[in-house]
Structure 1
């Protein structure tokens, strides 16, 4: 059987793993690093971060095997690829232009940096996975066209919510259904719109001890809470799938899995949408703070319509 894991295993057996360059060793970069050495057929060749010490810390914190990275920060990327070690650098453009790197994972979260790095990937013919949804929302359609012209792949990150939603939309359309609405679930109340990085921990309920022991970025966590991240992700889904954003923004209606078809349909049909073919985020909390039954806080969804021939 031919599938993704078997193809990766074949690359591993042939001694030709995909050579990956990571830009950004923060939370998302660390999550990928923690699994990368367990995945056959791919290898982290280099990590670029404005703080090489942070990248080195990410390798140590995630249990990356000692001896598989250059802790002295002295080897070049070329030397690292030759000896099979992961190299750390603060020069992302140099990493992108290095021969031997196959694909770049852009994880900075900075839209200007993400666009710059994607354009450099086009110039140097390096495939790019854009984990930086902020950059994708800013210029995703343009970067997609530039990548096509350069003959490289520009992609969302599989496993991230926009890509999972896009996969559901693709399945529905391939099966002959019309997409009424697509999106995800989250924890949201109207008051969260007024949260700031200074107040965000009160909403999450983290203790001072928990905050001191972990890598918690108040700006990032506040974007999850106040609706900013949801808006960015739904813009990416709308761009990537040809869906329409709500005219007046996301409504975050309380809704569980069983009630998606009733809530997420046009208002003319008794639902809460202005029309079909849109995106929306549903909340796992009722407006009074009670939990929604069978909520979708950690899930994604697509609402479809169409005739099923049972003959």
Structure 2
């Protein structure tokens, strides 16, 4: 890789990559911590619902006040400093900004921001992977139509898993499965923001001191975030979702080649070519040594005797038959690594992961029995979790995407563990995110799929 040398060239020539950031929360702050250390990057502006909080986070990551004192975006360009405000529309429209980083964590808003950025000819790096999970293929399609790049965020696990899959395929290895790690027990599925720290391993005081959002962290714990990220990986790589959803098999890094084999060969996969998540806990809740909780992995196959001999000669850890092995990255550094996406998009016009198909979806699923009139509170909340399902099944059942299951009123009762559908909720069909999802279903539904429809006051089925 030579991204750093190319960034230095841009710095020396006075032609930095000009970037705008929407959302300066935890992930955004981690990226902000690295910007002053990266040549060839000019963060022109930050748009946040609370500019005061954005400034506080800039101070927290040791930005000197004069560095973000520009009174306007135009002044920021001239002064080579950063403007902080709340006008995201001005940010995406500014002619000197070439790359927008969407970092709000709000799925419907992220879709609106990305679509607007495309219309203004901006590349988009989407940190809000929840938005990618429910309409990433459509966003990639719209970006291509506009002649710009849409990208997953390097440093987040989907982008890193895509890199491993690309490595494997480019080297000539068949990919059997890929995914991430997680801390998982079945009872976590029912966790709420009130119980998250008990399971997470922190005290409430430690969480408060760290400024940690219990709802966001609970989205990881209850399985929603692993489902979201697995959907992003599947749709970017062409891998598929398991028919029954993620199974979270427990295992160490060295166990991955044995776990990620077809069931007919002693593994846990229904077939080759799936996404999956490996748990760092045994079924009894015991921590597994040398775990992959914070990392990503790809399982590959040696499909010839010669390659299997090579594995043995180089003492590669494989399954007992010497046929499967894994490559992995044990840690991900989240926003601290986001600069890789910025450089790749800005210098090479290459995304660090992008949806190429619609293989997997994440459907809102009841955490408990839900009654008519209740308000859904989205991922990590009290009412629903996200379940990974094959896209064809989601479309056939009219599954309600988790990314849209925020602030929606329930129209009828839904039993615990039941998938929610569009017809279960009162929906504002004028929202850009809802329109985008509708367009995506029309464009990307697999051929021959019977799509359950409940749009515009009518319900029925259409065949794609």
TM-score (norm 2): 0.64
1:149 to 131, 145, 148: 145
Give the whole-Å Cα distance in 1 for the aligned partners of 2:127 and 2:208. Answer: 27
- Aligned to 1:247, the other structure's residue is in SS state coil
Which residue in the other structure is 2:8 paired with?
9
Q: What is the 5 A alignment of 1:26-105? A: 26-70=25-69, 75-105=71-101
Give a deviation string over 1:192-237, Cα, whole Å, max 9, x none.
1111011111112323432332211011010111111000000000
Which residue in the other structure is 1:272 paired with?
268
Give the whole-Å Cα distance in 2 for the aligned partners of 1:173 and 1:272. Answer: 22
Equivalent residues of 1:78, 1:99 under 8 A apart? no
2:294 to 276, 291, 298: 298
Structure 2 residue 202 is matched with structure 1 residue 206: yes
Structure 2 residue 287 is matched with structure 1 residue 288: no
Which residue in the other structure is 2:229 paired with?
233
**Is the deviation greater in 228-237 or in 175-184?**
175-184
**Is the deviation greater in 111-120 or in 229-238?**
111-120
**Is the deviation greater in 92-101 or in 286-295?**
286-295
Structure 2 residue 80 is matched with structure 1 residue 117: no
Give the whole-Å Cα distance in 1 for the aligned partners of 2:92 and 2:226. Answer: 30
Give the whole-Å Cα distance in 2 for the aligned partners of 1:63 and 1:244. Answer: 43
| Alignment size in residue pairs | 307
- Aligned to 2:276, the other structure's residue is in SS state strand
Structure 1 ranges of 4+ moved more than 4 A: 308-311
Which residue in the other structure is 1:196 paired with?
192
Give the whole-Å Cα distance in 2 for the aligned partners of 1:66 and 1:156. Answer: 31
What is the CA distance between 1:149 and its match in structure 2? 1.3
Equivalent residues of 2:168, 2:175 under 8 A apart? yes
- Aligned to 2:105, the other structure's residue is in SS state coil
- Aligned to 1:37, the other structure's residue is in SS state helix
- Aligned to 1:288, the other structure's residue is in SS state coil
Which residue in the other structure is 1:108 paired with?
104
Equivalent residues of 1:186, 1:281 under 8 A apart? yes
Give the whole-Å Cα distance in 1 for the aligned partners of 2:270 and 2:169. Answer: 21
Give the whole-Å Cα distance in 2 for the aligned partners of 1:192 and 1:170. Answer: 32
Which residue in the other structure is 1:21 paired with?
20
CA RMSD of aligned residues (A): 1.4
Give a deviation string over 1:40-73, Cα, whole Å, max 9, x none.
1112110001111111111111111231111xxx
- Aligned to 2:155, the other structure's residue is in SS state coil
Gaps of 5+ in 1: none
What is the CA distance between 1:15 and its match in structure 2? 1.2
What is the CA distance between 1:247 and its match in structure 2? 1.1
Which residue in the other structure is 1:182 paired with?
178
Change (3 A) 1:190 1:130: same
Give the whole-Å Cα distance in 1 for the aligned partners of 2:252 and 2:62. Answer: 38
TM-score (norm 1): 0.95
- Aligned to 1:294, the other structure's residue is in SS state coil
Give the whole-Å Cα distance in 2 for the aligned partners of 1:76 and 1:163. Answer: 33
- Aligned to 2:20, the other structure's residue is in SS state strand
Which residue in the other structure is 2:124 paired with?
128
Give the whole-Å Cα distance in 1 for the aligned partners of 2:43 and 2:173. Answer: 40
- Aligned to 2:111, the other structure's residue is in SS state helix
What is the CA distance between 1:130 and its match in structure 2? 0.7
Give the whole-Å Cα distance in 1 for the aligned partners of 2:84 and 2:96. Answer: 15
Equivalent residues of 2:42, 2:81 under 8 A apart? no
Give the whole-Å Cα distance in 2 for the aligned partners of 1:129 and 1:279. Answer: 23
- Aligned to 2:67, the other structure's residue is in SS state coil
Equivalent residues of 1:137, 1:232 under 8 A apart? yes
Which residue in the other structure is 1:159 paired with?
155
- Aligned to 1:114, the other structure's residue is in SS state helix
- Aligned to 1:128, the other structure's residue is in SS state strand
Equivalent residues of 1:69, 1:85 under 8 A apart? yes
What is the CA distance between 1:120 and its match in structure 2? 0.8
Give the whole-Å Cα distance in 2 for the aligned partners of 1:112 and 1:173. Answer: 34
